Amino acid sequence: MAKIDFGGVVEEVVTAEEFTLERARQVLADETVAVLGYGVQGPGQALNMRDNGIKVIVGQRQGSASWQKALEDGFEPGQSLFSIEEAARRATIVMNLLSDAGQVTTWPAIKAELEAGNALYFSHGFGVVFKDQTGIVPPADVDVILVAPKGSGTTVRRNFLDGSGINASYAIFQDATGKAYERTVALGIAIGSGYLFPTTFENEVYSDLTGERGVLMGALAGIMEAQYNLLRAHGHSPSEAFNETVEELTQSLIRLVSENGMDWMFANCSTTAQRGALDWAPKFRDAVAPVFEQLYQSVVSGKETARVLSANSAPDYREKLDAELAALGNSEMWKAGAAVRRLRPENRQKL
C-alpha cells in the first residue's frame, strides 16, 4: 500500500501501479464473476472486466430493458447471460449490483445459490448494514466484500475507455476464505479503478447516502434552483440565469477545481469574483451545516433507508419516478438548459 498525506492525515491506498492488472488477472484466473443487475453500475463494471480479460457473466430478468441492453453489449443467452438465479449458481464471485430494493426482493433466491468459498460483492453497503430492514444476512462461509466506484456506472465505463480510471473505496465485511483482500482489490483494479482507499461497509453507506442527498445531487440541485429562481424573479432572462447558475459551473469552473483545487480555481478568476467567493462561502457553509447534520442523522438512524425501500418497492414506483423526472426536465430552468446545450460550439452545427 502507498501512504498518502491527505491534508495532514496519512492514509494507505492501493494504486494500479502497485497492484497491477496482470496481478488482478492472476488472482481472478479461476473465478467466474456474475454481475447481477444490468442497470446503473452493472454495465460499466461488467464491460470493463470483460475487456480486461476476466470471465464475466450477467444475471438479469429476461425480457427487461436491461436484458436487452446486455444483449446489445454482446452478452449471449445461455453462454454469458442468464437469469439472476442461474448466474449466481454458476459464479464463484457474485457481484450484487441490483438496486437496493431489488436486492431485498431477490436475496432469498441469491442466498440459496451461494456455496462455501464464494465471494459476495457489493458496490454499496446498504443491504448488509441495514439488515434489520433488508433481511440481507450473508452466510458465514462466504467472503463479503465491497468496491464502491466514486461515480455513476456511465462514468465508470467512460473513464475506463478514455484511460483515466475512477477512484473507488473498498471494504471487507467477512473474510471466510483468507482470500478476501486479494479478491477485493483485484476486482477493484479489474473494473478500472485508478486507486482504492479503505473503508467499512458502515462508513461507505453513511457517506454515500449523505453525499447523494447533499453536495453530489440533492443540495446541488436545490441550490441551483434557488439561484435560478432568484435571478428570474429579478428580471434576468432564462439564458442569463442558466448560464450564471449552471453552464459556467459545469463548463468552466468545476473543471478548474478538478485540475488543482478550489484555491486554484479562485486564483484563476477575477479579483472581484475571488473577494465575493471568499466572503460568502462561510455564510453558505454556516447556513447549511445544520441541514447536513440533520441529513447525516437521518442516514445513520435508518430513516433514509426505510424511505427508499418503501418508495422503491411500491408497484407504481416507476410511474411516479418518471412523473417526477418529467416535471424536473419540463421546468423552465432545465428547458433553458437544453437550449443552452444546443448552442454549445460542438452542437451548433446541428441546429
Q: What pLDDT, in 10s, does the model give residues 47-89?
A: 999 999 999 999 999 999 999 999 999 999 999 999 999 999 9
| pLDDT value at residue 218 | 96
Q: Which one is catalytic: 124, 183, 213, 232?
A: 124
- Answer yes or no: do 109 and 247 share one domain: no
The enclosing domain of 292 has a CATH number of 1.10.1040.10
Q: What is the CA radius of gyration of the chain?
A: 22
**129 and 7, same structural domain?**
yes
Q: Domain of 44?
A: 2-199
Q: Same structural domain for residues 194 and 233? A: no
Beta bridge partners of 120: 94, 144
Amino acid 189: pLDDT:
97
Q: How far apart are the C-alpha atoms of 258 and 66, rounded to whole Å?
A: 32
Burial class, 148, CB count within 10 angstroms (exposed 0-12 / middle 13-18 / buried 19+): buried
Please give the model's pTM, rounded to 2 decimal places. 0.90
Known catalytic membership, residue 236 = no
User: 336: closest CA among 242, 246, 227?
Assistant: 242
Give the pLDDT confidence score for residue 350 in this predicted structure: 67
Do 24 and 136 fall into the same domain?
yes
6 and 132 co-located in one domain: yes
Q: For the chain, how many structural domains are there in total?
A: 2
Listed as ranges, residues in the chain with pLDDT below 70 are 350-351
Considering the domain architecture, whether residues 91 and 231 belong to the same structural domain is answered as no
Which residue is it, cell 467477512? 174
> 178, 199, 220 — which closes off a domain?
199
Q: What is the pLDDT of residue 6?
A: 85
Same domain, 131 and 259: no
pLDDT of residue 113: 98
* 3-class secondary structure, 81: strand
- Beta carbons within 10 angstroms of residue 194's beta carbon: 17
pLDDT above 70 covers a percentage of the chain that reads: 99
Concatenating the DSSP letter of every residue in 325-348 gives: HHHHHTSHHHHHHHHHHHTSHHHH
Is residue 258 assigned to a domain? yes
Residue 194 lies inside a defined structural domain of this protein: yes
Cα 254 from Cα 239, distance rounded (Å): 20
Q: Calculate the CA dihedral of residues 209, 212, 169, 59 and round it to 10 degrees.
A: 90
Asked whether residue 205 is assigned to any structural domain, the reply reads: no
Q: What's the pLDDT at 196?
A: 95
The C-alpha torsion from 346 through 347 and 348 to 351, rounded to 10°, is: 160
Residues 231, 192 share a domain:
no
